Each structure stands twice: as structure tokens, then as C-alpha cells.
Structure 1
Amino acid sequence: MRINLITCLALFVVGVSNAQQLEKYIGEALTRNPELKALEKSYEIASEKVIEVNTLPNTEFSAGYFVSEPETRTGAQKARFSVKQMIPWFGTITARENYVSSLADTQYIDSSIAKRKLTLAVTQSFYKLVSNQEKQQILVENIELLETYEKLALTSVEVGNASAVDVLKLQIRQNELMQKMKILQQDFLSERVAFNLMLNRDENLDIETNVRFEIPSEAENINVEILEIHPELLKFDKMYKSVETSELVNQKETGPNLGFGLDYIPVAERPDMDMIDNGKDIIMPMVSISIPIFNKKYKSVSRQNELRQQEITSQKENKLNTLKTLLNTAIANRMSAEIMFDIQSVNLKQAKDAEEILIKNYETGVIDFNDILDIQELQLKFEMDLIGAVQEYYLQSAVIYYLAK
């Protein structure tokens, strides 16, 4: 019986306690996952670069000693000491800050995308584990059912209503189910390792998967328009903005750089003369300007930025089409899972009705164990298909949540 959908971070989990269970795992993954930690550090580094570019070029200091002292009217020059500071054109540093800040914004979007993808991966892995355990439980029930049939067959053999071959067939069928059980157990252990590693914890830790594994009665409405503001698309907007700010930096750098400095030259007194300013040191303020006369470089960068913007626009359009395709495919696959669930539910009911008829025949002393095996095999198939349909429903719901939430 289907139940109502409860929507939360845990993604369409049935029941409040179940939602909290998956939400707990997702929260743990978002906190502990090493890839996310690395992306957070990348964002911090990118943010720190804003301070890095908010600086002037290095101040230049120089000193020289005259080996052959040049004579002047007021005395011999002994040495030269200089200091010089270049200053970028007005607004250049602010433009660089804006550019680096836009790159940091792109890094932040990358982190948001990674969080969404991790949530998707954890959710899908969780439902695979739940599905696996559901299938194991179905196999246990079927093995127990076959053991009951085996006892019936042994009793029938004693009274001459069945042969030893019927008993062997039932035992062979049990062996086949045991084989499937062991394969599922190995698959579960493998998936559990992957799940735990996403949470960056011991790979052998147990996973709580005791959830009600059913398809909800009503699927949540899907707002396709929200796809337009998906982080994977917003990233292209941030990239486009970064190119714009890069071009502003480029334009500012075509302007001249100003330089301010000071030269100091100590002068020795002339002992043979008595004059005004005898031995007076020389102090010479200086102003310089650096002009990019050959600016083909900047024109080329502007053209590159223009082409880059066109490239980003095309990439965004392509990504939007890709996401729309993924969303439509996920919606179609989820609807197919619902259809499969409904049909297999009907088939399973009919198979159980047929089983009841066979059991009633046993009360009259007539039973065909070949029919029993056929019906049991059909029941198992329908039950497995039901679990597969529910699993597919939640896997596709996770994709829809990733794209349209």
C-alpha cells in the first residue's frame, strides 16, 4: 500500500524517521567528505588572493658608491642612494580585486555543485543498499517456503503421490536461491564500502537501512523552470562575469604607470674653498611614467576575452540542453517505474491466488510440484521486479531532486 510523500533534504524518504536517517548520512557526508574539504580550501585560497592583488609593486631601493668621485663646484659626490615606487593607473588595483573576487565566486559555485552531486551519490547508494536488503529478505522467505514444500513433497512420496525427483527439484531450487543470496550479500558489502567512503569513515561500519521501501502515492510537482538557476548553469554566469572583469583589468593596464622617487647624493666639502653651500648634499625628487606604446598584446587579450565570452555562452546553452534531457529522462524513467510497480503488483496477486489453488488441491491429495516450482519462480520474479521498480523510482527521484531543487 502506497503512502504520502514527505519531502525533505533526505529526498523523498517515506516516513519522518526514515527521512531523518538518510538526512543524517547526507549531513555526515557533507561534513566529512575530503573532496568537499578540498573545494572549501580552494575557495578560501581564491578569497585570500583578493588581499594579494590589493598591493602596490615593490618599492625599489638602490645604493651606489663612486669609485672615481665626480667633482662639482660645491664638492665631490661620494655616493648615490635612491628609492622609487611605481603606482598602477587609477582603478587598476580595484579592477584586479574584482577579477579575483569573481574567480572566488566561481570556486564557490563549484563547491555547491559538488555538494549536490555528493547528496545525489549518497542518496542513490543508500537506496541500493535498502533494495539489496529487501531482495535478500524476499529470498529468505522463498527459501523457507521451498522448505515447507519440500516437507510436503516428502510426505507425498511416502503415500505415493509424488516422486523423489520432485524432492530433488525443490532442493535444487533452494540451492539456486542460496546462490543468489550469497551474490546479493557480496554486492551489499561492496556497496557499503562505497557508501562509507563517501562519508569518509570506516568502510566496514554498518548502515541503518530499516526503511519502508514503498512508492509514495503522489509524486511531488516538478518545477522545470527552476532548472534555469541550477548551479551548473550559474557557474557559466560567474565565468562570464569573470571574463568581463578580466577585460576591465586589461583596459586599465593599457594606461600608464606612474613612478615617484627620490635620489640622495652626499657631497664632500672642499677644504680649499670657503663658499656658500660648500659640501651641501643633493636631494633630487623624481617622477617617471611607463607607457605601453606597443599595445598589440592588450588588443589580443581583448579579442581573446570576447571569444571566451562567446564560448561560455555556447557552453551554457549546451549544458542547459543536457540538463533538460537528463531531467526529462529521469521523469520518464520514474513514470516507467511506477507503471512497472502497478503491473507487477497485479501479477504478484494473481500468482499468490494460483498458489492458494495449488495448496487447496493438496488437501484433496492431488498436487503437482512442477506447478508449485513454476508459480514460486514467478512469484519470486514479480517480487524482485517490484523491489527493482521501487529502487528505480527513488534513484530517478534523486536525479530529479538534483536537477530541479
Structure 2
Amino acid sequence: MKHIKILIFVLFVSVSVKAQQLESLIEVALANNPEIQKFELRYKIASEKINEVNTIPNTEFGVGYFVSEPETRTGAQRFKVSAKQMIPWFNTIAARENYVGSLAKAKYEDIVIAKRKLMTSVSQSYYNLYANKAKQKVLIENIELLKTYETLALTSVEVGNASVVDVLRLQMRQNELQQLLDVLIQQFIAEQTVFNKLLNREKAVKVTVINELIIPSESFEDNSKVLELHPELLKFDKLYYSVEQSELLNQKESSPMIGFGLDYINVEKRPNLDFGDNGKDIIMPMVSISIPIFNNKYKSKTKQNLLQQEEILSQKQERLNKLITRLDKAVNNRVSARISYKTQSKNLKQAKNAQDILMKSYETGKIDFNDVLDIQELQLKFQLNQVESIRKYYIQSTIINYLTN
């Protein structure tokens, strides 16, 4: 559901069934993209480190043999066995877990950000493919239109109302459009490779795009107020929190450590003597404490943490400024795309009216094929610009949704 919310822009598509196609492709990308898997593995590694720090220092064991056996009243000491365990100050281990856990939470935001970026990239590539196909369709229609004009020109040549030059010019124009069409086909193949690799599948897999996109007549709600909840900003909050946990851990580690130990000394019996403690082994429990008297290390760490928090706040503000700028630019570009689309629609309607007038002139035998080519060129320009306006509108919509949903 979280992924679907980010893709609200697919609702702009006129047919909801067609919109589901893009949504399903995005789900494939989220499941297969290696970059997402990379960030998920990093998060798992960071989470596993909690188990790593949930430990106490190694238990120390020692064995010593008296080369020169010291004599005691109860006998000579032969060898010594000792064991010692240092224990961190109260709640130090919990502080370590909290610190490592806070770093893992910051890593999780990397996954969220990467998924948002992947969704945006997949959608933008999809809209590029749509625009390419739409432009191909426009070129094919115009080539067919020119063939119709060519037939009319040949008929006019027969009755003396046009010259062979007019026919040749129409044919050359067809060749130019065919060249543009061939280039678009190659560009589609290249963009299809980009799209398929985002889904981590073979580059030759055929991508079928929707037949038609329209620009909605009304503007959608501006969600710029929720920009501060963007994962790119939340990551800084979690990093700030991790520094707080680092300082708490620093305070705990600057506390003393308590140690418990036990020494066992083997004592050999004294010969030719008979008394109660003859050869009695020595057992000595011990308690020790480790105090960081020279604690400049911990004081320096505290200063570093304070400076790091200031740096994070500055980085967050810098990122917020960039996101606000990017959002404002995307909103304005989308408005511009809508304006351009409306203008091209008006121009295209007028061009078709001019085309109809020329066709009526043909019926009276007064057609000027120079005007025909001029009108056809204008009509093609308006059609391609209209498709480009639609592409820009949806590209900007993906950026807006990346930032606000």
C-alpha cells in the first residue's frame, strides 16, 4: 500500500486498467532491482550488528608454573590457575544496542529512498517510451497523408494544374519523415533497454505501453506541506538520533568497569610433617575495578558528537532547501506543460482547418502544393509538440510524487 500511494500519478491515466500495467511493472522492479537488494542487505547487516555488541568482554584465563617453588608453612607452591571477568557498567550493553539499532534505522531510510527513486525512474522511462510510440504514430499518419497528397499531385500533373517538381517535393518530404521514424524506432529500442534493466530483466523483452495519455483539466492538490516528512529528511533525523545514542554510550563507557576473578594455587605437601593444613591449596576470590582516570578520550568524543549534530542539522536544512526548489520547479514545469498542451491543441485545430480549406481548393483546381507542405509541416510540429507536452507533464508529475507522497 505504501508503494501504491507513492504512485498516485498513475491515476492521471484515462483508463484505469492501463494504469495498472505501469503499477505492475513497478512492482516487478521493486522485487528484482539489484540496487534495492543491495540496500536491503546493508540494512540486514546493520541490524545483525545488534547481536554483535550484545556481549561482555572476553573472560581471561591464566595458568602459571612456579619454576622456583616458593615455600610456605603449608608447603611449596607448584602452579597457579586464574580466571577473570570484567563487566561493563550498568546498562552499557543496552546503550550499545540502542546505538547500533539507531544506525540500522537510518539505513532503513536508504531502502525507502532507493525504492522511491526506482519508482520514479521506471515511471519516467515508461512515459518516455509512450512519447516515442506516440511520435511514431504521428509520423506514420503524416507519411500516409503525404502519400495522399502525392496521389493528388500526380492527378494534378496529368491535368496540368501541378508540376513534377511538386510531386518530387512531396516524395522528399516523405523521405525526411521516414528518416525521423527510423530514428525514433532506434531510440525506442535504447529506451526499452533502460526500462528492462531497471526491472533487472533481459533487454530485449518487449514493453507494451498504453495507447493514449491525456493531461487532466484540473490541477491536483499541492502536498508541499508534507515535504518535511520526506525520507531524505527523515534520514537526517535518525542520524541525529544515532548521535544522541552515541553520546549516551560514550557516557556509559566512561564509567568504571567491575571485574570478578578467582585464583587457585596448588600447594604440595611438606614431607615428614603431619598437621591439618599440610598441602592445603589456596583459593582466592578477587574483585577489581577499572577506572578511566585519564578520560580525555571521552571528553573529545562528546565534543565530536556535538559538532556532528550541528553538521547533521546543517545538512538537513541544505537538503530541505534543495527539495523545496526541486518541488517548486517541477510544479511550475508541469503548469508550463499544461499551457503548452492547450496552445498546441489550438494551433493543431487551426492547422486542420487550413488543411480542409486547401482540400476544398483542390476541388476547384486551384491547390498550391507549397501551401500543402507548409501546412503539413506546421501540423506535424504541433502534433509532436503536443506529445512532448504530455510527456513533460507526466515526467514532472513523477518528480512531484517522489517529493510529496
In the alignment, what sits opposite 1:87?
Answer: 87
Amino acid at match of 1:165: V
In the alignment, what sits opposite 1:384?
Answer: 384
Q: Residue 77 of structure 1: SS of its match in structure 2?
A: strand
In the alignment, what sits opposite 1:52?
Answer: 52
The Cα shift of 1:11 comes to 5.8
CA distance in 1, matches of 2:113, 2:240: 17
CA distance in 2, matches of 1:87, 1:12: 62
The Cα shift of 1:67 comes to 1.9
The Cα shift of 1:180 comes to 0.7
Deviations 1:357-400 (CA, angstroms, capped at 9, x unpaired): 00111111111111000000000000000000000000000000
Q: Residue 267 of structure 2: SS of its match in structure 1?
A: coil
Q: Residue 85 of structure 2: SS of its match in structure 1?
A: strand
Q: Are the equivalent residues in 2 in contact too, given 1:359–1:367 (CA < 8 A)?
A: yes
Count of residue correspondences = 399
Q: Residue 261 of structure 1: SS of its match in structure 2?
A: strand
In the alignment, what sits opposite 1:177?
Answer: 177
Does 2:116 correspond to 1:116? Answer: yes
CA distance in 1, matches of 2:14, 2:65: 85
Alignment of 1:64-83 (within 5 A): 64-83=64-83
Q: Residue 287 of structure 2: SS of its match in structure 1?
A: strand
Q: Are the equivalent residues in 2 in contact too, given 1:259–1:289 (CA < 8 A)?
A: yes
Q: Are the equivalent residues in 2 in contact too, given 1:76–1:269 (CA < 8 A)?
A: yes
Alignment of 1:122-201 (within 5 A): 122-201=122-201
What is the Cα-based RMSD across aligned positions, in Å? 1.1
Q: Are the equivalent residues in 2 in contact too, given 1:265–1:281 (CA < 8 A)?
A: yes
Deviations 1:292-339 (CA, angstroms, capped at 9, x unpaired): 111111111101100111111111111111111111100000000000
Q: Are the equivalent residues in 2 in contact too, given 1:9–1:23 (CA < 8 A)?
A: no
With the length of structure 1 as denominator, give the TM-score of the two structures.
Answer: 0.97
Q: Residue 266 of structure 1: SS of its match in structure 2?
A: strand
In the alignment, what sits opposite 1:206?
Answer: 206
Amino acid at match of 2:315: Q
Q: Residue 267 of structure 1: SS of its match in structure 2?
A: strand
The Cα shift of 1:16 comes to 1.1
In the alignment, what sits opposite 1:312?
Answer: 312
Alignment of 1:215-364 (within 5 A): 215-364=215-364
The Cα shift of 1:62 comes to 1.3
CA distance in 1, matches of 2:328, 2:295: 50
CA distance in 2, matches of 1:370, 1:227: 54
Deviations 1:162-188 (CA, angstroms, capped at 9, x unpaired): 111111111111111011111111111
Q: Which moved more, 1:62-71 or 1:291-300?
A: 62-71
Deviations 1:94-141 (CA, angstroms, capped at 9, x unpaired): 111100000000000110011101001001110000010000000000
CA distance in 2, matches of 1:346, 1:271: 121
Q: Are the equivalent residues in 2 in contact too, given 1:264–1:281 (CA < 8 A)?
A: yes
The Cα shift of 1:12 comes to 3.3
With the length of structure 2 as denominator, give the TM-score of the two structures.
Answer: 0.97
Q: Are the equivalent residues in 2 in contact too, given 1:10–1:26 (CA < 8 A)?
A: no
The Cα shift of 1:9 comes to 7.0
Q: Percent identity?
A: 61
In the alignment, what sits opposite 2:99?
Answer: 99
Does 2:378 correspond to 1:404? Answer: no
Q: Residue 260 of structure 2: SS of its match in structure 1?
A: strand
CA distance in 1, matches of 2:322, 2:44: 31
Q: Are the equivalent residues in 1 in contact too, given 2:13–2:214 (CA < 8 A)?
A: no
Amino acid at match of 1:218: E
Q: Which moved more, 1:236-245 or 1:264-273?
A: 264-273
CA distance in 2, matches of 1:12, 1:395: 12
Unaligned runs of 5+ in 1: 1-6
Amino acid at match of 1:356: D
Amino acid at match of 1:26: I
Does 2:31 correspond to 1:31? Answer: yes
Amino acid at match of 1:28: V
In the alignment, what sits opposite 2:3?
Answer: none
Unaligned runs of 5+ in 2: 1-6
Deviations 1:130-160 (CA, angstroms, capped at 9, x unpaired): 0100000000000011111111111111111
Q: Are the equivalent residues in 1 in contact too, given 2:9–2:398 (CA < 8 A)?
A: no
CA distance in 2, matches of 1:281, 1:12: 87
Q: Residue 265 of structure 1: SS of its match in structure 2?
A: strand
CA distance in 1, matches of 2:270, 2:53: 50
CA distance in 1, matches of 2:111, 2:9: 18
Does 2:20 correspond to 1:20? Answer: yes
Q: Are the equivalent residues in 2 in contact too, given 1:139–1:177 (CA < 8 A)?
A: yes
Q: Are the equivalent residues in 2 in contact too, given 1:228–1:320 (CA < 8 A)?
A: yes
CA distance in 2, matches of 1:203, 1:277: 87
Amino acid at match of 2:55: T
CA distance in 2, matches of 1:388, 1:232: 30
Change (3 A) 1:239 1:168: same
Deviations 1:219-241 (CA, angstroms, capped at 9, x unpaired): 32112111011111100100000
CA distance in 2, matches of 1:50, 1:332: 46
The Cα shift of 1:8 comes to 3.5
CA distance in 2, matches of 1:304, 1:109: 24
The Cα shift of 1:13 comes to 3.1
Q: Are the equivalent residues in 2 in contact too, given 1:11–1:398 (CA < 8 A)?
A: no
Q: Residue 200 of structure 2: SS of its match in structure 1?
A: coil
CA distance in 2, matches of 1:347, 1:9: 28
Q: Are the equivalent residues in 2 in contact too, given 1:61–1:82 (CA < 8 A)?
A: yes
CA distance in 2, matches of 1:126, 1:151: 38
Q: Residue 365 of structure 1: SS of its match in structure 2?
A: coil
In the alignment, what sits opposite 1:3?
Answer: none
CA distance in 2, matches of 1:165, 1:231: 64
CA distance in 1, matches of 2:146, 2:152: 10
CA distance in 2, matches of 1:13, 1:359: 35
